[in-house]
């Protein structure tokens, strides 16, 4: 590739598109700590207390409440940013999916759940993916090719 294109070696990858990588001989760690902290700063929650869980298990999300959230664009942007954070934070995927079901008409209760969610992220912004070089990984996959055929 270097024969066709002029390529400069810039060293090991450290930060790219919001992903931070740390590499050693025994492990590779990928997280989005800077991105998560920017998300908290933009929401004004960097100095707030953190939450232990992403969602309260007693809260039932529904769109039956009549009091709508006025800034729909801000809610959609927040959920979009949280969706991008799920690339390295697999533990938040289900909760973000639950919140994303109400993008058309969010209500105040859903926005309060989103704020609690940000407080959960504040508790451990550097969580991410860990890959050990000492463990052999064998991936298996299954595809049902007849499923789509009618």
* CB crowding 33-42: b at 16 or more within 10 Å, else e: bebbeebbee
pLDDT for 131 equals 84
- Residues constituting the chain: 150
Region 102-116: mean pLDDT is: 81
pLDDT at 141 over 90: no
* Interval 55-88: pLDDT, tens: 777 667 666 666 677 788 888 899 999 999 999 9
Contact 32, 85 (CB under 8 A): yes
The model carries a pTM of: 0.75
Count helices and strands (H / E) in the chain: 4, 4
pLDDT for 144 equals 64
* CA 25 to each of CA 19, 73, 88: distance values in angstroms, whole numbers, following the listed order: 20, 44, 21
């Amino acid at each position: 590739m270097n024969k066709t294109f002029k390529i400069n070696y810039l060293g090991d990858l450290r930060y790219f598109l919001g992903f931070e990588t740390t590499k050693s001989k025994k492990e590779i760690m990928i997280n989005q700590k800077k991105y998560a902290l920017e998300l908290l700063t933009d929401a004004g929650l960097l100095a707030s207390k953190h939450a232990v869980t992403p969602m309260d298990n007693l809260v039932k999300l529904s769109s039956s409440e009549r009091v709508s959230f006025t800034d729909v664009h801000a809610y959609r942007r927040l959920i979009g940013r949280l969706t991008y954070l799920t690339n390295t934070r697999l533990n938040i995927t289900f909760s973000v999916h639950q919140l994303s079901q109400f993008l058309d008409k969010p209500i105040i209760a859903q926005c309060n759940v989103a704020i609690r969610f940000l407080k959960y992220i504040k508790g451990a912004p550097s969580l991410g993916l860990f890959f050990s070089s000492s463990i052999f990984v064998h991936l298996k996959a299954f595809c049902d090719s007849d499923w789509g055929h009618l």
